[in-house]
Amino acid sequence: MAATVIDIIQHIREHQDAALYQDLHWDGTFEDYLALVKENPQVARNAFQRLHDMIMSFGTHRYTEYKKEITHFSFFDDPIGGGRDAIFGLDLPLMKFVQVIKAAAMSYGPERRVVLLHGPVGSSKSTIARLLKKGLEHYSRRPEGAMYTYSWVGEGLSSLGVPQELTESGAERVEESMPCPMHEEPLHLLPREYREMFLEEANQKLPDERKIAVDGDLCPACRHVYNQLMVKFDGDWTKVIAHVRIRRMVLSEYDRVGIGTFQPKDEKNQDSTELTGDINYRKIALFGSESDPRAFNFDGEFNVANRGLIEFIEVLKLDVAFLYDLLGASQEHKIKPKKFAQTDIDEVIIAHTNEPEYRRLQNNEFMEALRDRTVKIDIPYITKLDEEVKVYERDFNNRRLKGKHIAPHTIEVAAMWAVLTRLEEPKKVNLTLLQKLKLYSGKTLPGFTEDNVKELRKEAGREGLEGVSPRYIQDKISNCLVADIDESCVNPFMVMKELESGLKHNSLITSEEQKEKYRALLAVVREEYEDIVKNEVQRAISGDEEALQRLCANYIDNVKAFTQREKVRNKYTGEYEEPDERLMRSIEEKIDIPESRKDDFRREIMNYIGALAVDGKRFRHDTNQRLHKALELKLFEDQKDSIKLTSLVSNVLDKDAQEKIDVVKGRLIREHGYCEVCATDVLNFVASIFARGDVREGRK
């Protein structure tokens, strides 16, 4: 054990980055800082500019969906945390959010607003805010995200009555120091007229949309020190500034530097000093006045979050009077600490709230000022099946589970039901809710174009703002995984049963009508699952590659002879015969090729083979997707009787049938992710369907 501890210590010693530590703890004179800004004006960016640059630093990629170009921001994949907080399926809302941040960074107006993330419970609002805070912390540690603040240093500060920290080396006092309590921008120390002259020169390196503007003035505590030193040195600014030490600033929520979080508490106990700081009553006797900045703690959330970001959790739960500080902070970038003049701040204000609270805001005439200062961004539930699946696969996958296996399609079935509850009924009479889900997921349906899907999205204005939360699904899957049963595998029927039984006690679903609707949607999902597993078993039964290739070759030989008006040589008799129309139609009918279209389809196949040959490619049974599906269904039809799947129900199997069943089961395990238990279960389930005579050849 001791050796292991020594090894760990040695490993830390060898891998610690001394150079990075030195960079993050850089300090220098005010003159050094002016040189830094002149060389790279970006170090003096405001909070919105820094936030936008942070998001963009992780890269983007563009794609087109329903004829609309959408930008995906890689930052929201959570590369910092390895994807633990990744946001799925919300590219459009996130694109709108980043557009607001970009406009604020360019000083077009949103920088004077509260950015309000609005959506139902569990729609990733808190996760987005958490990602932004984590991103800013990470970015401030990188060279391109470097930012700086300052401390007052030098002997004699204590003689001015300035509260100071002592920097010590052993028992020897090195110097007196008072860090700026609000971590403000060092350029505030430049008189305004000289600040503008300096920035005008520094900004010549930057394009118009990237120019730096440093607004605001010193905080009360630093203003007091500044004024005292100006008096001491008879107005000699150069001697005053010699008492300033610039240092690198690293944002940290844990250390309360540049990142603040405010969560409303009991209305009777709310106190605005939590936002703007409070009087230090122990020091009033020392300094004699409540309005002396030396007797004040500038440690409210607005003070702490200066230069960075503040998150308001469930902001609309705050009392109306408590929101007054928020109004000035957003519009004027100023806060009003008790007993002090308005104090400048530079921070992004991110708030989030849910639907009922937002409706209360709309109906409250006393909140009109807040509504006017708010930019609302809807963060809805995911309405794409594959993206919803990713949410649950992150937490429930067979790599993370201990002693349990999740059967294929279990997560998919739960996600399908969740998405269906969030979709609005389509207005088109020939479109079901399930078909709408498939269209949203990128699948094609006859008679529906991209324009139709775009129209469906447009007419459903509140889609995704209601429905079942992902948390409900996660809770029910978790219940199945820890249920005290002997089963080693969780299958879709267990999850569907848990989802339905949970509706009785769900505190968010109070309407009986809504519960009945959700139960009906579970029936739709169950029917869809039956079709999925029947097709999967069919593919497993017809999964003999050699048999599929032989059937394909036979079909192509006949199609070639048919299109070229030739005869086909019978391999057994050696005689030439007419193309086997019965064989060709038995395959084509599996994918609904009507009699009137058979000639066109066959010519299409031959043209496809010819085009492949020109490119030097060989045609295989799985090269053309439609034909491959038809061949699988045909082979399944030919083989299902010989395999005698229906005899599974009676548990009476001869040795030959058992061997064939084992082959099918092996394919399900190897190719589709089943385990021995769920492969047996799904074969029994499909066998029971066939035994009832409920045989359909899959969804066309």
Identify whether 658 is part of a domain.
no
Identify whether 653 is part of a domain.
no
Q: Which of 260-269, 502-511, 653-662 has the lowest mean pLDDT?
A: 653-662
Residue range 9-54, pLDDT digits in tens: 776 666 777 788 888 889 999 999 999 999 999 999 999 999 999 9
Same-domain status, 518 and 376: no
CB 222 within 8 A of CB 184: yes
Stretch 309-313: mean pLDDT: 94
Same-domain status, 418 and 274: no
Q: Give the domain-ending residue among 326, 361, 380.
A: 380
Same-domain status, 37 and 98: yes
For residue 7, the Cα-to-chain-centroid distance in whole angstroms is 38
Long-range contacts of 507-511 (CB under 8 A, 24+ apart): 508/121, 508/469, 508/472, 509/468
Identify whether 192 is part of a domain.
yes
| Cβ-based neighbours of 191, under 8 Å, separated by 6 or more | 237
Across the chain, mean pLDDT equals 85
Q: Please tell me the number of Cα atoms within 13 Å of 697 on its side-chain side.
A: 18
For residue 470, the Cα-to-chain-centroid distance in whole angstroms is 13
pLDDT at 279: 86
Residue 172's domain is classified under what CATH number? 3.40.50.300
Which pTM value belongs to this model? 0.84
Same-domain status, 129 and 225: yes
Stretch 658-682: mean pLDDT: 84
pLDDT at 698: 42
Structural domain that includes position 620:
542-642
- Residue 84 has φ and ψ, to the nearest 5°, of -65, -30
pLDDT confidence tier of residue 162, bands split at 50, 70 and 90: low
Number of domains, the chain: 3
pLDDT at 697: 43
pLDDT at 174: 46
Stretch 578-599: mean pLDDT: 87
Same-domain status, 434 and 346: no
Encoding tokens for residue 409?
């399609």
Encoding tokens for residue 421?
């509850």
pLDDT confidence tier of residue 158, bands split at 50, 70 and 90: low
Identify whether 289 is part of a domain.
yes
> Of 95 and 264, which is predicted with more confidence?
95
Sign of the CA dihedral with 291 first, then 294, 300, and 302 last? positive
| Cβ-based neighbours of 118, under 8 Å, separated by 6 or more | 125, 352, 353, 354, 355, 358, 376, 377, 378, 379
Start-to-end CA distance of the chain, whole Å, equals 64
Residue range 514-540, pLDDT digits in tens: 999 999 999 999 999 998 888 888 777
pLDDT confidence tier of residue 399, bands split at 50, 70 and 90: low
pLDDT at 651: 53
Residue range 168-201, pLDDT digits in tens: 444 444 456 889 999 999 999 999 989 999 999 9
Same-domain status, 130 and 218: yes
Identify whether 533 is part of a domain.
no
Residue range 329-344, pLDDT digits in tens: 999 999 988 888 899 9
Identify whether 536 is part of a domain.
no
Instruction: Say if residue 468's pLDDT is above 70.
Output: yes
Instruction: Say if residue 694's pLDDT is above 70.
Output: no
CB 622 within 8 A of CB 628: yes
Q: Which of 62-71, 445-454, 669-678 has the lowest mean pLDDT?
A: 445-454
Identify whether 254 is part of a domain.
yes
Distance CA 649, CA 652 (A): 8
Stretch 497-509: mean pLDDT: 86
Same-domain status, 218 and 151: yes
Same-domain status, 22 and 166: yes
Identify whether 656 is part of a domain.
no
> Of 519 and 399, which is predicted with more confidence?
519
pLDDT confidence tier of residue 700, bands split at 50, 70 and 90: very low
Same-domain status, 472 and 554: no
Instruction: Say if residue 77's pLDDT is above 70.
Output: yes
| Strand-pair partners of 297 | 278
Stretch 571-595: mean pLDDT: 84
Same-domain status, 233 and 188: yes
Instruction: Say if residue 384's pLDDT is above 90.
Output: yes
Same-domain status, 168 and 316: yes
Same-domain status, 202 and 297: yes
